[in-house]
């Protein structure tokens, strides 16, 4: 059997692929964060809780309304996104004129409150959510056994990332968004409702988090702390990619997923730490991040 660095090649390919799948989650979550930071200048620490809410809304739809996975994939992001809109209107919008730190503290606090409320209501060990029958089963790739659902996650995440990038870079509304990021007063002077645009941007970022949450529900344990476990890594991804850079966060998300996957073969104990080592190195060499503008 061929070996690479003493590791059987099939095992290594398997880990690369799994790394890519985890990277899809990182990319999807960091994308929402980057969009929100780029536009609102708010570091959205509620993102993990909103990801978790996506999964819980999917569970609630199934158990209380009988709506399955496909409906949840469509509706849960809308429900959680509307909650985001409400949050932005009533609280976050009051802090735009202040230092970043206030937005960070507010969203961090709101995140903890949401997590605590959900834990009180549903407990901490989580709820069952099954893979939809259309996507269960697996392909035998020769070097590993690949569940259909994981393949679906990568494809959907890629589509969502590309679509978001296209909307922001190639459409009229995207150009307004980018202009408002540079100079909100001027854009407002052209008769564009900048506050509303910001609200919708926040809602869309939150919806992306909830979308990732629904995608995660069948494969990860649906519990109140599922977001906080992931969100620290996702913040590192955003920092490494360059705060607010959309392309940066997507590429870094997939890249770091792979780095983490490889670490799981060579030195498993460090697989939770390796991303932060990369972050420290990147910040030392390129403080603005890999794709950020200094």
Partner 1 sequence: MSEINRRGLLAGAAATAAFGALPVWQARAQAQNTIRIGVLNDQSGLYRDVNGPGSVSCVRQAIADSGVTQRGINVEVLVGDHQNRPDVGSNIARQWMDRDGVDVILDVPTSSVALAINTVVRERNKIFLNSSAATSDLTGAQCSPNTIHWTYDTYMLAKSTGGAMVRAGGDTWFFLTADYAFGHALERDTSNFVRAAGGRVLGGVRTPFPGTDFSGFLVQAQASRAKVIGLANAGGDTINSIKQAAEFGLTRRGVKLAALLMFISDVHSLGLETAQGLVCTETFYWDLNDRTRAFTQRVLPSMPNQLRPGMGQAGCYSAVIHYLKAVADMGAQQAKASGIETVNRMKAMPTDDDAMGQGSIRPDGRRIQPSYLFEVKSPGESRGAWDYYKLLQTTPAEEAFRPLSEGGCSLVRS
Tell me: does residue 225 bind partner 1 (CB under 8 A).
yes
| CB closer to partner 1 out of 126 and 184 | 126
Tell me: does residue 147 bind partner 1 (CB under 8 A).
yes
| CB closer to partner 1 out of 22 and 50 | 22
User: Between 15 and 54, how does the x/- string for binding to partner 1 read (CB under 8 A)?
Assistant: x--xx-xx--------------------------------
Question: What's the min distance (Å) between Cβ of 231 and partner 1?
Answer: 11
User: According to CB under 8 A, which one of 2, 66, 121, 170 is a site residue for partner 1?
Assistant: 121
**Number of chain residues interacting with partner 1 (CB under 8 A):** 45
Tell me: does residue 151 bind partner 1 (CB under 8 A).
no
CA distance linking residue 223 with residue 253, whole number of Å: 23
User: According to CB under 8 A, which one of 66, 269, 284, 285 is a site residue for partner 1?
Assistant: 269
Tell me: does residue 128 bind partner 1 (CB under 8 A).
yes
The residues in 2-21 that bind partner 1, with binding defined as CB under 8 A, are 8, 10-11, 14-15, 18-19, 21
Tell me: does residue 271 bind partner 1 (CB under 8 A).
yes
Print the SS3 string covering the chain.
CCEECCEEHHHHHHHHHHHHHHHHHHHHHHHHHHHHHHHHCCCCCCHHHHHHHHHHHHHHHHHHHCCCHHHHHHHHHHHHHHHHHHHHHHCHHHHCCCCHHHHHHHHHHHHHHHHHHHHHHHCCCCECCCCCHHHCCEEECCCCEEEHHHHHHHHHHHHHHHHHHHHHHHCHHHHHHHHHHHCHHHHHHCCCCHHHHHHHHHHHHHHHHHHHHHHHCCCCCECCCHHHHHHHHHHHHHHHHCCCCHHHHHHHHHHHHHHHHHHHHHCHHHCCCHHHHHHHHHHHHCCCCCCCCC
Tell me: does residue 124 bind partner 1 (CB under 8 A).
yes
Tell me: does residue 171 bind partner 1 (CB under 8 A).
no
Binding site for partner 1 (CB under 8 A): 8, 10-11, 14-15, 18-19, 21-22, 116, 119-128, 130-131, 138, 144-145, 147, 149-150, 218-221, 223, 225-226, 229-230, 261, 264-265, 268-269, 271-273
């Amino acid at each position: 059997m061929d070996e690479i660095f003493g590791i059987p090649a099939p095992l290594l390919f398997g880990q690369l692929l799994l790394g890519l799948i985890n990277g899809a989650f990182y990319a999807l979550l960091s994308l929402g964060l980057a969009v929100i930071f780029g536009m609102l200048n708010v570091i959205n620490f509620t993102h993990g809780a909103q990801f978790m809410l996506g999964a819980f809304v999917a569970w609630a739809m199934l158990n209380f309304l009988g709506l399955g996975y496909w409906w949840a994939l469509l509706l849960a992001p809308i429900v959680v996104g509307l909650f985001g809109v409400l949050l932005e209107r009533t609280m976050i919008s009051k802090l735009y004129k202040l230092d970043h730190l206030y937005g960070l503290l507010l969203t961090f606090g709101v995140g903890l409150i949401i997590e605590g409320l959900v834990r009180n209501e549903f407990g901490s060990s989580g709820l069952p959510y099954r893979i939809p029958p259309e996507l269960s089963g697996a392909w035998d790739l020769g070097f590993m056994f690949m569940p259909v659902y994981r393949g679906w996650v990568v494809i959907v995440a890629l589509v969502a990332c590309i679509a978001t990038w296209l909307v922001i870079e190639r459409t009229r509304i995207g150009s307004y968004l980018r202009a408002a990021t540079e100079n909100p007063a001027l854009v407002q002077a052209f008769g564009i409702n900048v506050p509303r645009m910001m609200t919708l941007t926040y809602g869309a970022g939150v919806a992306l988090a909830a979308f990732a949450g629904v995608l995660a529900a069948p494969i990860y344990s649906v519990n109140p702390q599922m977001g906080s476990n992931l969100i620290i890594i996702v913040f590192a991804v955003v920092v490494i990619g360059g705060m607010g850079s959309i392309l940066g966060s997507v590429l870094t998300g997939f890249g770091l997923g792979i780095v983490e996957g490889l670490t799981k073969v060579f030195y498993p104990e460090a697989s939770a730490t390796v991303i932060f080592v990369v972050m420290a190195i990147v910040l030392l060499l390129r403080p603005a991040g890999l794709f950020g503008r200094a």
